[in-house]
Chain A
């Protein structure tokens, strides 16, 4: 990132067509996601919830992607770390809290699914599951419909680096490539699949290298730079809209948290390694950029932190106090015809 840009020159984000308000909103979304995520970890440690899976460190990549898409218009198939992504496309922290508390009002699944398993028809966030990359063919299917119906809709599907080794990744990408479908595949490469490092998952230099085998471009981008991620995603989004087919984007990030609250990451990686990457945390980096551009100031920041703290607090209290589903709700919605 160019830290030397000053307010008088054209800023990087202006060059990308982003307003000050938009980049401030990007920052706010990253921070909101981070605060939610930290609270989730805390709630799990204090026994308030059973499980949390974190996206800490990946917020820039997610927000950079999300801002290239159109809320409540394009279709989204995010993966379980995509909190910043779903916040950016319209989900609220209250909704996320209801999900991690597994409460009846959770719009994702009414407390049926694990946290991080997003879904909201209202927001065009397509219901997701745990087995990784099943959403890749789904995204191709949704994009196929956009093409068949000549609708100006682009589909987003994300997944991890390890997950790009699943058969469904291959089959879904290939299908989208053959039919030149309007879809953007995003691999959030955070260097690990639970304990297994990148080098034991794949032998290619970059996950983006795989795109050539599907006949579309693959782009590797610094996932700690939200503007650069925005830029390449915007390009991919435009390619898709122009009918030129899919793009595979690899956002290079690092999973700062353990895999989930059930994981002890220091059993397979060093504190030094983690600390090194904490030092490259995208949030302070983007903050610095925004200060340098004059978009962020101490007073704006103080207000923002207070606002976010309020949101987190309200959402936590709300979700904590919200009712669980009724036990017999277990039996609902197996089929559309409930008489079965």
Chain B
């Protein structure tokens, strides 16, 4: 068994209003940042996994997204990285 770190990104569906993203965009404007066209805020879940291989860790992480980490009604997910930890 080896240790891996898997990084999952869960974002609100683009079709869904993201009031938090809007609030951040607005606040950035007030702070004087120019050129902020849009902001979306989602979640990052960093998993430390024991697995036989990177492939197994990746599969595990994807299964966790499907079951728990993302809500299929409102969110999309992506597995950004699987690295030895």
Asked if A and B bind, the verdict is no
Chain A residues packing against B (C-beta within 8 Å): none
Chain B residues packing against A (C-beta within 8 Å): none
